[in-house]
């Protein structure tokens, strides 16, 4: 079974600074997808960024980018120019590429942004 | 136009009661899911339905019974509610198909509190 580990329960960053959230995963599959979800206090799950395992190029979405290291099974999220609205729980998630499988989530990292 | 909707958003009830949570998606997706987020924010899959057919049933007590009357609806009925059932329940949907673009869209969640 696949597992996702987020080793940082809490992180904080100064406004306008850069922060990196860590995620590692364990799988025996070669084809899969990785995601970062943001959950603000409203509790809505918002997709931040996705990465296909077969792609070597790291995904970027505006101020959000990932560092995907397939051999190391590592998938970190970098948030640049942090804003107050970035404060939220961030979840790393894994999904197998076979079929329409559910997401396997890490335990989350609570990010605080300090003005 | 809400893509995935859940009712109710909040549910407070007494131990031993039976309650239902409803989920509807207007995205034309053929797979729907129920996830449970516990008090420590951990998200875990409970059930998955594809075209009204149950395809994933994780280790969930028999008191939980999902029902899918049609492709657009997936309801969750809980019998004999216990204190430990207090959690946020998320419905999600996605479209069958290979590729990351069949991302899962989440509903707003239902916060269930059992007293």
Name the residue with tokens 């996702």.
A4
Residue A13 near residue A20 (C-beta atoms within 8 A): no
Query: Which of B48, B103, B111 is the closest to A50 by Cβ?
Result: B103
Average pLDDT over residues B65-92: 95
Average pLDDT over residues B70-74: 93
What distance in Å separates residue B81's CA from the closest CA in chain A?
A: 23
| Predicted pLDDT at B65 | 92
Work out the pLDDT band at B10, boundaries 50, 70, 90. Answer: very high
Work out the pLDDT band at A35, boundaries 50, 70, 90. Answer: very high
| Predicted pLDDT at B97 | 62
| Predicted pLDDT at A97 | 84
Q: Give yes or no for B5 touching A (CB within 8 A).
A: no
| Predicted pLDDT at B30 | 87
Does A101 score more than 70 pLDDT? yes
pLDDT tens-digit map of B14-67: 999 999 999 999 998 889 999 999 999 999 999 998 888 888 778 789 999 999
Does A9 score more than 90 pLDDT? yes
Q: Which residue of A has its CA nearest to B45?
A: A102
Is omega for the bond preceding A50 within 30 degrees of 0, making it cis?
no
Does B69 score more than 60 pLDDT? yes
């Amino acid at each position: 079974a696949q597992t996702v580990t987020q080793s940082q329960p809490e992180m904080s960053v100064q406004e306008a600074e850069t922060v990196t959230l860590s995620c590692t995963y364990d799988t025996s599959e070669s084809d899969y997808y990785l995601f970062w979800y943001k959950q603000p206090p409203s509790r809505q799950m918002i997709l931040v960024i996705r990465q296909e395992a077969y792609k070597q190029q790291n995904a970027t979405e505006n101020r959000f980018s990932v560092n995907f290291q397939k051999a190391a099974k590592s998938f970190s999220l970098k948030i640049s120019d942090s804003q107050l609205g970035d404060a939220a729980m961030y979840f790393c998630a894994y999904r197998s590429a076979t079929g329409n499988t559910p997401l396997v989530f890490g335990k989350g990292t609570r990010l605080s942004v300090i003005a | 136009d809400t893509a995935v909707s859940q009712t109710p958003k909040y549910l407070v009830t007494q131990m031993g009661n039976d309650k239902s949570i409803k989920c509807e998606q207007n995205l034309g997706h053929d797979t729907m899911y129920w996830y449970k987020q516990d008090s420590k924010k951990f998200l875990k899959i409970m059930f998955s339905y594809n075209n009204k057919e149950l395809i994933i049933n994780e280790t969930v007590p028999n008191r939980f019974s999902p029902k899918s009357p049609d492709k657009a609806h997936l309801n969750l009925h809980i019998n004999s509610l216990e204190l430990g059932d207090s959690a946020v329940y998320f419905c999600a949907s996605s479209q069958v198909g290979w590729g990351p673009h069949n991302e899962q869209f989440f509903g707003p969640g239902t916060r269930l509190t059992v007293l």
